[in-house]
Chain A
Amino acid sequence: MKLIAAMSGGVDSAVAAARAVEAGHEVIGVHLALASNPQKYRSGARGCCTIEDSHDARRAADVIGIPFYIWDMAEEFHDGVVEDFLAEYAAGRTPNPCLRCNEKIKFAAVLDRARAMGFDGVVTGHYARTQISETGKTLHRAVDHSKDQSYVLSVLTIEQIAGAIFPLGDTTKVDIRKEAEARGLAVAQKPDSHDICFVPSGDNAGWLRDRLGSEVGPIVDQEGVKIGEHKGAYTYTIGQRKGLGLTVPTVDGSPRFVLKIEPVTNTVVVGAREDLAVSTMKGERPVWCGPGVTDQVLRGFVQVRAHGAALPCSYFFDGTLLVAQLDEPLLGLATGQAMVIYDGDRVVGSATICETA
């Protein structure tokens, strides 16, 4: 096949590209420039797309021996990922930008462009696997569960999965580093990136405050009684306990947790730990990574965070919303997060959480 390898400048995508070449594919390396004003160097372990990263990606492509180009996706990234991130926070939800990037950039803008140019698919260094089954190509967890990234890929449609190649899904991260070393790829020991790539400092709250302002608002209990003040509701997350700055103690001295964020009234609602409990979640805009879910109730697992636990549940689709009923309640669940349904290791689909009870 003719493939585009998305190369971030990190170790995973470099090995993924090398493996695709070895598998006999015709591979071209592409580095996505996602920032309109890239920084010169990586600071700490943050994201990608600095000038240093683009050099690392180029060097890896040269060592592997494949053509290399840089694609400017800064505008698409800003509109589709950064703006969405801000809008979601402003609406009181907690978005996952990596998921949005896979949905709108890597397997949409890039894959569409690649296909139009005559390529068959996109290779990435994600830790996930695909399998060909009777129903087509399906998405599965990586063998290395601690590195599994199927959660952030759960927004891919069947069409997109058909064009996605994940060569690393059968290997552990430790072995990928060893392999990079053996292949002479200088990025072998480059630190993993975490955090959000477009927040250079890693200070999400500060970054949000700069863009959304820091309008003071009330912190109230479940009865609506004001017990404190906050500086920007969006800097709080559901289930948060520390940093609330509350001076009025509860009657029994038990701690309070953020239960709800109401953007319209700029209010943060706090309450007791047990009030965080969620046993049913509903998600909008579902995407099926394989056969569609129907109103038939099925057993499976739901995952609500990138590296969270897979929680046993029953799930169905009511025609509009994807519904999951947990066997055991979960504490603290923010709307805006993705709920991803698994059937064993297979990703069934995902939706954006809009309601919890």
Chain B
Amino acid sequence: MSSIYVDHAATTPMLDSARTAMTLQLAQLGNPSSLHTHGRATRKTIEDARESIAKQVGCLASEVIFTASGTEANNIALKGLYWQGRDKGKQVVVISAIEHHAILDPAQWLADHEGAEVLLVPVSNSGVIDLDFLKDVVSKRGQEIAVISIMHSNNETGVLQPISEVVAIAGEIPVHCDAVQSFKKVPLSFSELGLYALTLSAHKIGGPLGIGALILRRTVEIPALLHGGGQEREIRSGTLNAPSIVGFATAAESEHFNAKNVQNLRDAFIEGLNKIIPDATINGSKANRLPGIINVTFPGTQSDTLLLLMDSQGVSCSTGSACSAGVHEASHVLLAMGHSVESAQSSLRFSFGASSTQADVDYILSVVPDVITRGRAANLS
């Protein structure tokens, strides 16, 4: 059976070069915090990697804080910047309605346990945040806002957000940006954007799982979540994961993701889809988007049924989010874009990556008609 992977936004194949670099590092002995020769050798490798990643994201090396995931980086940033603001009497957290759960849930936790007031910036039908709403909030309540966190691009629709404008509106208010999906897919510079904090993850760009980074402006001191050996500016204690860091840097240095090629595949897919399933709609089609992600609504279907049928044809795609019991839920992103629960639950995400080919597109288009026909027949409720 065919095996077509179109879920690169979930995770993407690890690059051979990253795997090789990581494997070599696994054989190296030495805790980077140790003062002897072995320790210094590992420390040097890590600092090389840190400088390399800094260069790729447009920040200083000292601004890179390694974490175990993008989720961890988001938690450190949002909670840390909130606590820092709260010490000055600022208790409002502003995020968008379409953030990843790794921002939504820590924000909710701050509201439930730490006295935060969370304000959600709505989005248009195209999935772009409402800058007028943000301006209004900042002008009325700017003095109370501890942190603003807006994602660089949405993981479900690929819609890019106007981060420069957000930073301009925010003025002195710290802005964090979850750029996990955008890094290495579209131009991204921490310093040019003028951010306080930015989140990256290695496995979305061909690096290993289990390593991410928080880019944090060097003058910003925030409380830690993990206390211990004082690594990473005392913001993230724990022995540094040298092999994964090396794999991360190798992937970040690679230029294997050709945005133009990926976008051509995406556009060919959309064109084919329009012909076969004329009533299918592309979510966020009017907005600027990442080259690889497409979110499609197939009226009269249920996405979990479609996923099963796609999977049984050898196509791995995604339904968006699921709750802890694994039950597919209507996407909060699509709901925020004005979808009904029913239509949000009839959508699939296809995300193409560097390894995707025209043959993948052709194959998926060849199975779509049957999948949609059966999916519609099975939508009995």
Question: Are A28 and B312 CB-contacts (below 8 A) given A38-B325, A69-B304?
Answer: yes
- Decide if the interface of chain A is mainly helix, strand, loop or mixed: mixed
Most B CB atoms within 10 A — which of A31, A67, A109, A113?
A113
Confirm or deny: A216 has a beta carbon within 8 angstroms of a beta carbon on chain B.
no
Nearest B-chain residue to A51, judged by Cβ: B325
By a CB distance below 8 angstroms, the chain A residues around B325 are: 33, 38, 50-51, 54, 70
Contacts of B380 in A (CB 8 A): 109, 112-113, 116
CB nearest neighbor in B for A79: B381
| Chain B 300-318 interface mask (CB, 8 Å, partner A; 1/0) | 0000110111011000000
| Distance to closest chain B CB from A286 (angstroms) | 25
> Are A54 and B326 closer than 8 Å at their CB atoms?
yes
Contact partners of B324 in chain A: CB under 8 A = 51
Is A243 at the interface (CB under 8 A from chain B)?
no
Residue-wise, chain A 37-72 has the 8 Å CB interface mask toward B (1 for contact) of 010000000000011001000100000000101111
Residues of B with C-beta under 8 A to A33:
325-327
Whether B326 lies near A113 (C-beta < 8 A) is no
Within 8 A of B (CB), among A57-101: 58, 67, 69-72, 74-76
Of the four ranges (under 10, 10 to 19, 20 to 34, 35 or more), the interface on chain B belongs to 10 to 19
CB nearest neighbor in A for B322: A70
Interface range for A: 20 to 34
Residues of A near B305 (CB, < 8 A) are 113, 117
B328 CB-CB contact with A under 8 Å:
yes
Q: Are B309 and A117 in contact (CB-based, < 8 A)?
A: yes
* A54: B residues at CB distance < 8 A: 325-326
Shortest Cβ distance from A70 into B: residue:
B326
- Interface check B374, CB cutoff 8 A: yes
- Minimum distance in angstroms from B324 CB to a CB of chain A: 6
Q: Is B378 an interface residue when CB atoms closer than 8 A count as contact?
A: yes
Instruction: Please indicate the chain A residues that have their CB under 8 angstroms from the CB of B381 in the complex.
Output: 75-76, 109
Q: Which of B319-362 contact A (CB under 8 A)?
A: 322, 324-328
Chain B residues near A109: list those with CB within 8 A.
Answer: 380-381
CA distance A338 to B380 in the complex (A): 28
Q: Name the CB-closest residue of B to A33.
A: B327
| B18-58 with Cβ < 8 A to chain A | none
Query: Quick one: given A33-B325, A54-B326, are A69 and B374 in contact (CB under 8 Å)?
Result: no
In the complex, the answer to whether A70 meets B378 with C-beta atoms within 8 Å is no
Whether a CB of chain B sits under 8 angstroms from the CB of A118 is yes
Interface members, chain B 290-308 (any A CB < 8 Å): 304-305, 307-308
Contact (Cβ within 8 A) A116 B374: yes
Q: Nearest Cβ in chain A — how far from B345, in angstroms? A: 9
Given contacts A28-B312, A117-B377, A117-B378, A72 and B307 within 8 Å (CB-CB): no
Whether A71 lies near B304 (C-beta < 8 A) is yes
Would you call B326 and A31 a contact (CB within 8 A)? yes
Most buried by A among B322, B325, B327: B325
A118 CA to B311 CA, complexed, in Å: 14
Q: What are 20 A-B contacts defined by CB distance under 8 Å?
A: A28-B308, A28-B312, A31-B326, A33-B326, A33-B327, A54-B325, A54-B326, A69-B311, A70-B304, A71-B304, A72-B327, A72-B328, A75-B381, A113-B378, A116-B374, A116-B377, A117-B305, A117-B375, A117-B377, A118-B309
Q: Which residues of B contact A (CB under 8 A)?
A: 304-305, 307-309, 311-312, 322, 324-328, 374-375, 377-378, 380-381
